[in-house]
A = this chain, B = another copy of it.
Amino acid sequence: MNGAKSLVKTLLAAGVDTCFANPGTSEMHFVAALDQVPGMKCVLGLQENVVTGMADGYFRIARKPACTLLHCGPGLANGMGNLHNARRARSGIVNIVGDQATYHRPFDAPLTADTTGMARTVSQWVRTSMRSEDLGRDAAEAIAAAQVFPGQIATLILPADTSWNEGGVVGAAASVPTPPAIDGNAIENAARTLRQHGKDTLILLAGHAVLGEAQKLVWRVARATGAAVMADYVTAHVSRGRGRLQLERVPYVMEAAIKALERFRHIILVNAKGPVGFFGYPGMPSEQYAPDAQLHVLSRPDQDPVQALAGLAKALNAPEAEIPDPGPRPGIATGAPTPEGLAQTLAALMPDHAIVSDESVSFGRGFYKFTHAAPPNDWLHLAGGAIGDGLPVATGAAIGAGKQRRVISLQADGSAMYSLQSLWTQAREQLPCTTIILNNSKYNILIGEYKNVGATPGATAMSMLDLGNPGISWVGLANAMGVEGARATTLEQCADLMKSSFGRAGPFLIELMI
């Protein structure tokens, strides 16, 4: 058995049965092994940032890692933006990066690069597997590393000769450490703080603490103590809709965040960090919380928030409490597209257990308020700030859900251009993806940021902030990659297109002119 076969068998034995791929020459033995050892679902992306973003979306929904197949250092580099995002989302991914044969590396052939150096910038675990005999073991350890709660990026660099040489051994499953237990004192401290200062306390949720099970517990705690509950702005995955908490996120805009947090003297962090600005701004603090606020860590991002919140609810003797009803489901909005109207229309029409991939950037900041009464759904956000993960995440999420759930992308146009090749994979795999492109033909968030700097942008600045010259036809791009689409200029048109797209097996793109 060559190394490549031992790798495929190790992956499959550990339940890693999906491979997002953009292979090259040095990976051909691995590709051949995938032909010879059945069981791996292979999904091609036409650019590596699509590949890595799909693996992120897959993990968020399937809750197990996929592997990626990337070609040498530069192929990894092309996918690093979305690996950065996946790292911030704490998704588990096993990257397999083919590379020069061990003995060929010193010759510095054109594609030779500092693959390890690149990998380290976006991975918690990096190893180059130097011998076929070790590849199965190394792969098993990579898979375990990817599964460390809540998830990690593990990058296994695979020299071509490690792949093609004989001597491969299937790796035995490596043990995945359980999350560190919650400290009793941390629970007691949080309980005491809530008893004494409940109304002045914010419980800030991130990571798995924003998912359904934790929400039920935190609601009991909040009801019993009068504390407020918010989600971190940087949250990869929120359980939303009817039956879930009507959470708001800490606002993106610095002034709004400071205002939202200023009244809290205590912040209990449940898998969250103390909230800070996305960027520093002249004359502004980095922290968004009040200077005299006390931060209390109930659970770290790598601990189990359900265990933490269950302990807290028990320590407080918090009674069972029903999550409040969000009121009636809204109807379709009409007229010119507004953020509120689009959110309302989405809430009116989205199918049960839909997945929303939200990279709506500036247009979407108010979507939450108008979608609490939607059916239960999983709402995915860009966690790392590197725009261009919305479409790949949606694509991978659809595969992670076995094509059984509708995936709706709320997608800013500027961001969509970074990884538009995702649409082709949606067509190839006939995924139930509805993409709503929010076409304003500009980097609107930057025009806002520019105004913070000085006056309105001049001609030179606008040459870098405007996407309207020439205008981009998103329907045209979609069609050219095998995805049907149509343009909407009113919310009624958008609603009609949503409805018909939700009945399709395959993908559809709505270009909403905003």
Contacts and interface: CB of A to CB of B under 8 A. Distances in A.
Contact of A446 (B23, B101, B164, B286): B23
- Looking at A35, A161, A476, the one whose CB has the most chain B CB atoms below 10 A away is A35
B414 A46 contact: yes
B454 A32 contact: yes
Contacts of A111: 278-279, 384-386
Interface in A450-484: 450, 452-454, 457-461, 463-465, 467, 469-477, 479-482
Interface string A231-251: 000100000000000000000
A118 to B, nearest CB: 5
A294 interface: no
A252 to B, nearest CB: 11
A107 B234 CA distance: 13
Given A78-B81, A446-B25, A472 B464 contact: no
Contact of A34 (B386, B461, B472): B461
Interface stretch (A129-137, A147-155, A391-399, A421-429): A421-429
A261 to B, nearest CB: 15
Interface in A401-441: 414, 417-418, 420-421, 424, 427-428
Interface residues of A, number: 104
Contacts of A95: none
Given A74-B385, A427-B470, A458 B109 contact: no
Given A73-B121, A74-B80, A77-B77, A109 B276 contact: yes
A88 interface: yes
A100 interface: yes
B473 A74 contact: no
B110 A88 contact: yes
A117 B115 CA distance: 12
A456 to B, nearest CB: 10
A24 to B, nearest CB: 7
Interface in A259-298: 273, 276-280, 282, 286-287
A105 to B, nearest CB: 9
A373 B277 CA distance: 61
B25 A234 contact: no
Interface in A143-193: 160-161, 164
Contact of A31 (B28, B118, B450): B450
- Looking at A28, A118, A417, the one whose CB has the most chain B CB atoms below 10 A away is A28
A388 interface: yes
A103 B24 CA distance: 42
A376 interface: no
A464 B42 contact: yes
A469 B22 CA distance: 15
A458 B31 CA distance: 10
A32 B465 CA distance: 12
A49 B50 CA distance: 14
13 contacts: A23-B465, A25-B446, A47-B388, A74-B84, A100-B280, A101-B279, A101-B280, A103-B280, A103-B286, A113-B121, A420-B420, A470-B482, A476-B479
Given A72-B385, A77-B386, A103-B286, 10 more contacts: A47-B418, A73-B121, A77-B122, A117-B121, A160-B280, A161-B282, A424-B472, A477-B477, A477-B480, A479-B480
